[in-house]
C-alpha cells in the first residue's frame, strides 16, 4: 500500500529561446513515493504499481501545466521509482527504450517493441495534453560474450532521460554519462552522448544531475551544438556552501547564457529541494503551484 498524501510543486515561466520566439515552460518538483525496500527484488507487477503511483501524481502536474499554457514540462531524476537500489533490485523497474530514430508513438502502438507500460503511459500523457514531457526512467540493453565489456548478468542498465513530443512520439533518449557515487545499479555509457532535438520554439539539449559538473556533455551542448535551452532532470542534494541547487544551477545558466529547466526531487531528509527555470535570457510571468492532500495553492 502506498501513502495517498503527496506534494507536488511546479513552476511556470515565459522564456525566450530564439530571437523571435517565446514559450511557456514548466518544471516539476515531486515528493517521490518510494518502495518499501530497495534491498530485496520485487515482482514486475509490484514495481509497476509503485511507478504508476508516482505517475498518477505526475499526470496531475502535466494536466495542470498544459492548462496553464506550458509547451514543455520537465520532471525529476528518479521521479518514478526513487533511488538507492542495487543492480538486481532496480531491474524490475527497467524497460528497453529504443533509439528515437525508430519513429515510435508508444501511446498508439504499445506492442511494437517489448512491453513498455511506463513509456506508453508517458507517451499518452504527452499526447492527451499536447505538451512535451521530459521524464527519467531506467533503460536495459541485453548483451553477450561477443561484447568484451558486457556485464556478467548479460545486460547494460542506464539512468535514462526520455522526451515525448505533443503527439506522444519519443523524440529524445539520453543515457546519463557522469554517474554519482553510489549509482552502482547503473552502467556508464561507453561514450558521452550529446543529445539535442528541435521544437517549433527552439533547440533543446538534455543531461542529468551530476553531468552539470563536467565538460561532457553539458558544455558541449552549449558551446558546440548551440542549444537554446537545457533540460535538467535531477535528484540534487543541497550542499553548502557552493552546491545548493538554486545557487549552482542559476550560476551555470547565467554563465553559459542559456535557459536551464531544472526539475529536482523533493525530499527534505536528503536535502533535495529547489527547482527553477532561468537563464541569461529574460524570464517573466512565474507561477508556483503546490498540491498537497488534494488542495491547490497558488503563491
The separation between the first and the last C-alpha atoms of the chain, rounded to the nearest angstrom, is: 32
Segment 153-206, tens digit of pLDDT: 999 999 999 999 999 999 999 999 999 887 899 999 999 999 999 999 999 999
Q: Is residue 49 part of a domain?
A: yes
188: nearest Cα among 225, 239, 151, 147: 151
Q: How far is CA 296 from the centre of its chain?
A: 23
* φ and ψ at residue 149, rounded to 5 degrees: -95, 0
| Cis omega (within 30 of 0) for bond into 217 | yes
Of 64, 95, 107, 176, the active-site residue reads: 176
**What's the sign of the alpha-carbon dihedral 220, 222, 223, 225?**
positive
In a domain, 173, yes or no: yes
**The one catalytic residue among 59, 77, 183, 275:** 77
pLDDT cut 70: percent of the chain above it:
79
CATH number of the structural domain spanning residue 182: 3.60.110.10
> Global pTM?
0.88
CB atoms closer than 10 angstroms to residue 34 = 17
Q: Tens digits of per-residue pLDDT, 28-59?
A: 888 899 998 778 999 999 999 999 999 999 99
Give how many domains the chain has, as a whole number.
1
Asked if residue 220 has pLDDT above 50, the reply is yes
Structural domain contains residue 116: yes
Task: Give the residue ranges of DSSP H helices in 81-236.
Answer: 87-90, 117-129, 220-223
216 is catalytic: no
CA angle 98, 66, 203 (to 5 degrees): 55
- The whole domain housing 224 covers 7-298
Residue 2 lies in a domain: no
| 118 neighbors 75 (Cβ within 8 angstroms) | no
Clarify whether 77 is annotated catalytic: yes
Catalytic residue among 120, 169, 209, 275: 209
Amino acid at each position: 500500500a502506498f501513502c495517498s498524501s503527496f506534494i507536488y510543486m511546479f513552476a511556470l515561466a515565459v522564456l525566450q529561446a530564439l530571437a523571435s520566439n517565446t514559450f511557456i515552460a514548466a518544471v516539476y518538483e515531486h515528493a517521490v513515493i518510494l518502495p518499501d525496500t530497495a534491498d530485496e527484488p520485487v515482482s514486475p507487477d509490484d514495481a509497476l504499481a509503485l511507478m504508476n503511483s508516482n505517475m498518477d501524481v505526475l499526470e496531475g502536474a502535466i494536466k495542470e501545466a498544459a492548462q496553464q499554457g506550458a509547451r514543455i514540462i520537465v520532471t525529476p531524476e528518479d521521479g518514478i521509482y526513487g533511488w538507492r537500489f542495487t543492480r538486481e533490485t532496480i531491474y524490475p523497474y527497467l524497460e528497453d527504450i529504443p533509439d528515437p530514430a525508430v519513429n515510435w508513438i508508444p501511446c498508439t502502438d504499445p506492442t511494437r517493441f517489448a512491453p513498455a507500460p511506463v513509456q506508453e503511459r508517458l507517451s499518452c500523457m504527452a499526447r492527451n495534453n499536447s505538451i512535451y514531457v521530459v521524464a527519467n526512467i531506467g533503460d536495459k540493453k541485453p548483451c553477450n560474450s561477443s561484447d568484451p565489456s558486457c556485464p556478467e548478468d548479460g545486460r547494460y542498465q542506464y539512468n535514462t532521460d526520455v522526451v515525448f513530443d505533443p503527439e506522444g512520439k519519443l523524440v529524445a533518449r539520453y543515457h546519463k554519462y557522469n554517474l554519482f557515487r553510489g549509482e552502482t545499479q547503473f552502467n556508464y555509457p561507453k561514450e558521452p552522448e550529446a543529445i539535442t532535438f528541435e521544437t517549433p520554439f527552439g533547440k533543446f539539449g538534455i543531461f542529468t544531475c551530476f553531468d552539470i559538473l563536467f565538460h561532457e556533455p553539458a558544455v558541449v551542448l552549449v558551446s558546440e551544438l548551440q542549444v537554446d535551452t537545457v533540460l535538467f532532470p535531477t535528484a540534487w542534494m543541497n550542499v553548502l556552501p557552493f552546491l545548493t541547487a538554486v545557487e549552482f544551477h542559476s550560476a551555470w545558466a547565467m554563465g553559459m547564457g542559456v535557459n536551464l529547466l531544472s526539475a529536482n526531487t523533493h525530499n527534505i531528509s536528503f536535502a533535495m529541494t529547489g527547482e527553477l527555470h532561468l537563464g541569461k535570457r529574460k524570464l517573466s510571468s512565474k507561477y508556483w503551484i503546490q498540491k498537497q492532500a488534494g488542495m491547490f495553492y497558488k503563491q
